[in-house]
Amino acid sequence: MDVNSAFLSWEAVYRLEHLGGTLDLRTIPSAVGGDMAKRHGIILAKSPAAKKYGVRTGESIVEAKRKCPELLLVPPHYGLYERASGALMELLKEYSPQVEPFSIDEAFLDMTGAEALFGEPVEAGNALKDRIRRELGFTVNIGISTNKMLAKMASDFEKPDKVHTLFPEEIEEKMWPMPVRELFLVGQATEKKLAQLGIRTIGQLARTDVGLLHAHLKKHGEVIWEFANGHDVSLVEAEPQDNKGYGNSTTIAFDVTDAQTAKHVLLALSETVAARLRKHGKKAELISVEIKGNDLQTVSHQTLLPAPSDITYEIHQAACRLFDELWDESPIRLLGVRAGRLGDGEARQLNIFDRTDYEKLERLDAALDYIRKRHGQDAVMRASFLDSPIDHMSGGISREKRTVDYTKEKIE
- Which residues are the active-site residues? 106
**Contact present, 283 and 302 (Cβ < 8 Å):** no
Rounded-to-integer distance, Cα 166 and Cα 145, Å: 5
Q: Residue 46 in 3-state DSSP? A: strand
Residue 45: name the closest of 60, 30, 67 by CA.
30
Sequence-distant (≥ 6) Cβ neighbours of residue 376 within 8 angstroms: none
DSSP characters for 178-208?
A: SBGGGSTT--HHHHHHHHHTT--BHHHHHTS
CA atoms within 13 A on the CB side of 374: 7
CA-only gyration radius of the chain, Å: 24
Q: Which residue(s) pair with 291 in the sheet?
A: 299, 335
Phi, psi of 182 (to 5 degrees): -80, -10
End-to-end CA distance of the chain: 30
Rounded-to-integer distance, Cα 267 and Cα 340, Å: 18
Q: Which residue(s) pair with 142 in the sheet?
A: 163
**Contact present, 90 and 82 (Cβ < 8 Å):** no
Q: Residue 412 in 3-state DSSP? A: coil
Which region holds residue 228: left if phi is over 0, alpha if psi is between -120 and 50, else beta? Answer: alpha
Residue 108: name the closest of 117, 116, 98, 119 by CA.
98
**Contact present, 125 and 163 (Cβ < 8 Å):** yes
2-3 and 30-33 strand pairing = unpaired
The vertex-138 CA angle with 135 and 143, nearest 5°, equals: 100
